[in-house]
């Protein structure tokens, strides 16, 4: 399959209100309920870049050419029969990816999602099923947690020694802020592990060949 990606993509930041507006303008079907999801379907030869953050509605993306698809904090979204050059998902639940071609994927803290009958590159498939990006983030969190503890220790030690200056105050507040942020991130990771894992079914492993700056061939 030869896929042409336009150099410029139409960008959509889809939230609940903007989806409702697009529905009225472009005549998309559906009411956003489980029995009648909103369907964004077949925009022609247009390449789109989509940033998606929705809760409380059901949405289907279908037959689209997507240069970048970013989905964060969303649920109840179905993506099917799309070409996706770059896919990023974070803290999502109940997503379904069905019969898509995906060139690059980064998934973090997503659970109870289903990948079914998608075409994907071998290295991206390995990263996906091994949850590589999430594992790397988990290690980075512990590293930054250690730095936060070190900064906080230096700041507190300086205060106890009555050696108060701009640097010691900055170290203290930086360390405390970093500790709070990393503890929050660790909490998200531990909570995610209590949710059912993703399902990966019937992948078609592909090879990639760059034909030109604007063309990508999936073999």
Q: Tell me, what's the pLDDT at 217?
A: 53
Q: What is the mean pLDDT of residues 134-142?
A: 96
Paired tokens of 101: 């071609």
DSSP state at residue 194? T
* pLDDT confidence bin for 119, thresholds 50/70/90: very high
- Mean pLDDT for 48-65 is 92
Reported as a single tens digit per residue, the pLDDT across 176-206 is 999 999 999 999 999 999 999 999 998 888 7
pTM of the model: 0.85
**How much is the pLDDT for 212?**
44
Strand, coil or helix: 182: helix
Q: Tell me what pLDDT residue 89 has.
A: 97
- Max mean pLDDT among 54-63, 137-146, 210-219 falls in 137-146
Mean pLDDT calculated for residue range 6-24:
79
Contacts of 210 (CB under 8 A, 6+ apart): 216, 217
pLDDT above 70 (res 136):
yes
Percent of the chain with pLDDT over 90: 61
Q: What are 108's two structure tokens?
A: 């973090």
Torsion sign across C-alpha atoms 143, 148, 153, 158: positive
Domain range list for the chain: 2-132+195-218, 134-192
Instruction: Give the angle subtended at the CA of 21 by the CAs of 48 and 64, to the nearest 5°.
Output: 25
Mean pLDDT for the chain overall: 87
Strands in 199-201's sheet, in edge-to-edge order, are: 38-41, 59-62, 75-80, 93-98, 114-116, 199-201
Residue 171 has pLDDT above 90, yes or no: no
pLDDT at 4: 53
Q: Which residues of 144-169 are buried (b: 16+ CB within 10 A; e: fewer)?
A: ebeebeebbebbeebeeeeeeeeebe
In this structure, what token pair is assigned to residue 2? Answer: 């030869």
In 3D, which of 109, 6, 12, 121 has the Cα closest to residue 59? 12
- Rounded CA-CA distance 103/125 in Å is 10
Burial (CB count <10 Å: 0-12, 13-18, 19+), residue 99: middle
How many whole angstroms separate alpha carbon 131 and alpha carbon 107? Answer: 7
Q: For residues 215 and 114, give the distance between their C-alpha atoms in angstroms, rounded to a whole number.
A: 29
pLDDT tens by residue, 67-82 = 999 999 999 999 999 9
């Amino acid at each position: 399959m030869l896929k042409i990606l336009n150099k410029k993509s139409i960008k959509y930041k889809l939230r609940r209100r903007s989806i409702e507006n697009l529905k009225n303008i472009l005549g998309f079907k559906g009411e956003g309920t489980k029995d009648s999801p909103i369907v964004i379907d077949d925009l022609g030869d247009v390449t789109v870049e989509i940033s998606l953050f929705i809760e409380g509605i059901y949405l289907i993306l279908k037959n689209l050419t997507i240069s970048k698809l970013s989905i964060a904090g969303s649920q109840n979204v179905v993506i099917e029969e799309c070409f996706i050059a770059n896919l990023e998902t974070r803290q999502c639940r109940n997503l379904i990816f069905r019969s898509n071609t995906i060139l690059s994927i980064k998934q973090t803290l997503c659970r109870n999602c289903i990948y079914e009958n998608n075409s994907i590159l071998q290295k991206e498939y390995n990263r996906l099923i091994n949850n590589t990006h999430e594992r790397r983030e988990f290690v980075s969190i512990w590293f930054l947690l250690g730095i936060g503890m070190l900064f906080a220790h230096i700041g507190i030690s300086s205060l106890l020694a009555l050696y108060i200056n701009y640097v010691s105050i900055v170290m203290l507040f930086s360390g405390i802020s970093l500790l709070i942020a990393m503890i929050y991130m660790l909490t998200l990771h531990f909570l995610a592990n209590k949710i059912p894992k993703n399902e990966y079914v019937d992948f078609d492993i592909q090879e990639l060949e760059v034909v030109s700056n604007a063309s990508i061939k999936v073999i």
